[in-house]
Amino acid sequence: MVAGVTAGFSRQPQDLSEHEKLVRELLPDEVADAYLDLTHAGARVAYPEDPIDQELLSRHLAYLQHGPDVVLLRAVDPLIAVTGLLTQVHHELTKQHDRLLQGYVAAAEMHQLQLHDRRADQVPSVLAQVLTDPDELTGRWTTSIHTVQCTYRSVLTDEGPPAALPSPLNGQCSSMQFRELCTPEYLAEHGAHLAISAGVEVRTVRNLPTRMAIIDDHFALVGLAGGGSTGALLVRSAPLVAALTQYYDQLWEAATPVVQTQTKGLGGTEREVLRLLVHGLKDDAIARHLQLSVRTVRRHIAAIMEFVDAPTRFAAGAAAQRLGLLG
């Protein structure tokens, strides 16, 4: 029996067969619905002007059967149809892979041309270039993280563009490393929850020289003024990038890790002291409230400051709030 119109394929996902699930993975929803309806109906009246019918025909999911009075649209055998869809996907991926390889080859050729297109008496601009255009600086600081293939190292300061975060795909990739160094004051002001959630390792250091980003062993950005927002040095020289990487790694080894589960390192009394400290109570008021000596309170505060790597009690309270140590 031939249906004149489709009834609509509305089965729940858990009721779908493996073939139906695969069809839905490979096709847009409307096209998948139309093809699955057609396979269940067997055939229906064809509508050559209908975009969905045209899509089914162009993807070789259906064919026309001309009768004496009507033209029918019949579904292609599901196995043949799925095999054809997978072949189309394979061809598209092959094209994308070829484009990617061509892009890498072109980039390498451009790099070689730039290296050789210079006078012998000057440092090639491609190896060390001063950037001052605000738009270009912002773009470099915020988008370079998305080009990383292995390791992204960054130093954050209070000045300059906001910190860049990896894309969700990169953040979940175990073969990539994202590292961020900042001061305790920066951490207290901006927090690290978003960075850690995005897959970034965060550590704090008391003193940092300037804003910096090192992308693999390809290039580095070093802030010259305004935290890199008004001036930065773009470094492509392999020896210079290697030296900056070695310097960064030395800072990293000596830095204090920041984790979201740091509350486990604080005792119950220290957490109570921290809670009252954040509410602005002085040492003697905290001591009276907790029935402790002022000396004991100050010892707990010192331990808290060391734990969050903060130089002052105010910074310790702010850092604790940012790190979620109070909840």
Non-local (6+) Cβ contacts of 112 within 8 A are none
More confident residue, 224 or 323: 224
Lowest mean per-residue pLDDT among 10-19, 37-46, 141-150, 152-161 = 10-19
**Crossing angle, helix 268-278 and helix 283-290, to 10 degrees?**
130
Helix (H, G, I), strand (E, B) or coil at 260: coil
pTM of structure? 0.46
Write out pLDDT tens, residues 229-253.
788 888 888 888 889 999 999 999 9
Q: Quick one: what percent of the chain has pLDDT higher than 90?
A: 5
Non-local (6+) Cβ contacts of 75 within 8 A are 35, 38, 39, 42, 43, 61, 62, 81
Write out pLDDT tens, residues 264-282.
457 788 888 888 887 778 8
How much is the CA Rg of the chain, to the nearest whole Å? 31
Write out pLDDT tens, residues 58-110.
888 888 888 888 889 998 888 888 888 888 888 888 877 777 767 766 666 66
Segment 175-191 shows an average pLDDT of: 80
Say what the pLDDT of residue 204 is: 85
Say what the pLDDT of residue 2 is: 41
Closest CA to 60 of 46, 81, 30, 36: 81
Encoded tokens for 161: 């563009």
Under a CB-based contact definition with an 8 Å cutoff, are residues 123 and 143 in contact? Answer: no
* C-alpha distances out from residue 186 to 150, 163, 175, 192, 210, Å: 26, 11, 28, 9, 13
What the chain holds in terms of domains, given with CATH numbers, is 1-117 (1.10.10), 128-258 (3.30.870.10), 262-323 (1.10.10.10)
Say what the pLDDT of residue 180 is: 92
More confident residue, 304 or 14: 304
Question: Is the per-residue pLDDT at 191 higher than 80?
Answer: no
317: how many CB neighbours lie within 10 A of its CB?
25
pLDDT band of 173, cuts 50, 70, 90: low
Write out pLDDT tens, residues 200-235.
888 888 888 888 999 887 889 998 866 667 888 888
More confident residue, 320 or 139: 139
Question: Is the per-residue pLDDT at 122 higher than 60?
Answer: no
More confident residue, 25 or 3: 25
**Pairwise CA distance, residues 159 & 229, whole Å:** 8
Say what the pLDDT of residue 263 is: 43
Helix (DSSP H) and strand (DSSP E) numbers for the chain:
13, 11
Closest CA to 184 of 202, 200, 163, 205: 205
Q: Which 8-state DSSP code applies to residue 233? A: E
